[in-house]
Amino acid sequence: MAPETSLRERKRARTRQALVEAATDLFERHGYEQTTVADIAAAAEIGTRTFFSYFASKEELLFPHGDARIRAAVASIAERRPGDEPADVLLRALHLVGDDNDDLTGRLAALRLRLIRDVPSVRGKALQVQADGQREIARHLAAAFPDRLDEVQAAALVGAFIGAVTGALQVLLEDEDFPEDPATVQAAVERATATALQPWMAAR
């Protein structure tokens, strides 16, 4: 059963990615409001009803790796090293996310930032995703560093971390002169975030 399950999961992953790519292309060419779920499903060669077994809405399509970011942060916290400070494990999680995909730095990231600015429903979804992720990560961080952080302090640190990443991305992805290579953007985000969190990091 294991190979069959694995094949099914790979097929679902391919279909999910096809939907994200189709939506990205359609949103860029025709606009977010003008693109329907039916348009996206047709472009990905699936039925409209099948679309909803992958995503609950158009807004959700724009945040396909939100859970992966949380998992990376939780894994980084669980696998912390002796001498690590809370900020160290958060920065390691940011690096892990960049290694796994370009969700924070690629074409979809730039589109998502524009839509967050211009489309109220996308902005609302972004705030929900950010708040849910921040609470989950902060809970694990406080539990891992009980002698350093209470729940309020952990929430503040995670908020500073997410704010640093978001702020750096906004500037980088809107800079027409900055290289579009996702690896270059990722490295710049990591440097900027490390600078912002320097007071909370272990001495180097």
Maximum C-alpha span of the chain: 54
Find all residues with CB under 8 Å of 41, minimum gap 6, and list them. Answer: 19, 47, 48, 50, 51
Q: Where are the domains of the chain?
A: 2-56, 62-200
Q: Is the dihedral of CA 88, 93, 94, 99 positive or negative?
A: positive
DSSP state of 201: S
Tokens coding 143: 């539990």
Is the pLDDT confidence value at 204 over 60? Answer: no
CB-CB contact of 57 with 101 (8 Å): no
- Predicted pLDDT at 1: 44
Q: Is the pTM above the cut of 0.85?
A: no
Tokens coding 141: 């961080």
- Predicted pLDDT at 2: 46
Integer angstrom CA distances of residue 3 from 8, 9, 57, 89, 171: 9, 10, 31, 34, 44
- Predicted pLDDT at 5: 61
Tokens coding 75: 């894994």
Residue appearing with tokens 């730039």: 110
Grade residue 51 by pLDDT with cuts at 50, 70 and 90: very high
Identical fold, 2-56 and 62-200: no
Q: pLDDT per residue over 182-200, tens digit each? A: 788 888 989 999 999 988 8
| CATH fourth-level superfamily of 62-200 | Tetracycline Repressor, domain 2 (1.10.357.10)
Q: Can you tell me the distance from the alpha carbon of 81 to that of 83, in angstroms, rounded to the nearest whole number? A: 6
Integer angstrom CA distances of residue 179 from 3, 122, 195: 41, 26, 21
Is the pLDDT confidence value at 105 over 60? Answer: yes
Q: What is the CATH number of domain 2-56?
A: 1.10.10.60
Q: pLDDT per residue over 122-165, tens digit each? A: 999 999 999 999 999 999 999 999 999 999 999 999 999 999 99
- Predicted pLDDT at 55: 94
